[in-house]
Amino acid sequence: ENYLFAKQIKIGDYLFVLFDGKLKYSPVINITIEMKKGYYAPLTMKGTLLINNVLASCFANVNNHHLAQYYMAPFRYYYKFARFMSLYDPFNINKTDGLYRTVNIMLYFARYFKSDALCL
């Protein structure tokens, strides 16, 4: 398992693609670049998501997917516990200005430990 940034993928590389309900290796035969305004990086329980049936990491700015998934474990456990306790919005996701509290916490620890896994 090797995770690459989208800009590093080239023709001939192989990606996991959902086909007939199963993930299969599929070669890259064409690359189209789309530029969109905004920033979106949903965090998932598994650390991955499907984008146009292509498996991708949900961690937009990290060099090591597995390290990021390990780092996010406390947040996943907190979320599961909070939902178990019927807390509707444990991470204050309806915030409309600035960074979410959890993102600020993650950035603090990444800078404190001078993690080179985070690309800032």
Say which residues have a Cβ less than 8 Å from residue 49's Cβ, sequence separation at least 6. 42, 55, 56, 58
Q: What residues pair up with 48 in beta bridges, in sequence order?
A: 57
Report the alpha-carbon distance of residue 94 to residue 75 in Å, rounded.
17
Q: What pTM does this model have?
A: 0.66
Lowest mean pLDDT among 46-50, 55-59, 74-78: 74-78
Cα pseudo-dihedral 52, 57, 73, 91, rounded to 10: -50
Which token pair is 44? 């998932």
Report the alpha-carbon distance of residue 31 to residue 45 in Å, rounded.
29
* Between 40 and 30, residue with greater pLDDT: 30
Could you tell me the pLDDT band of residue 72, with boundaries at 50, 70 and 90?
confident
* pLDDT for the residue 16: 95
16-23 mean pLDDT = 96
* Between 119 and 3, residue with greater pLDDT: 3
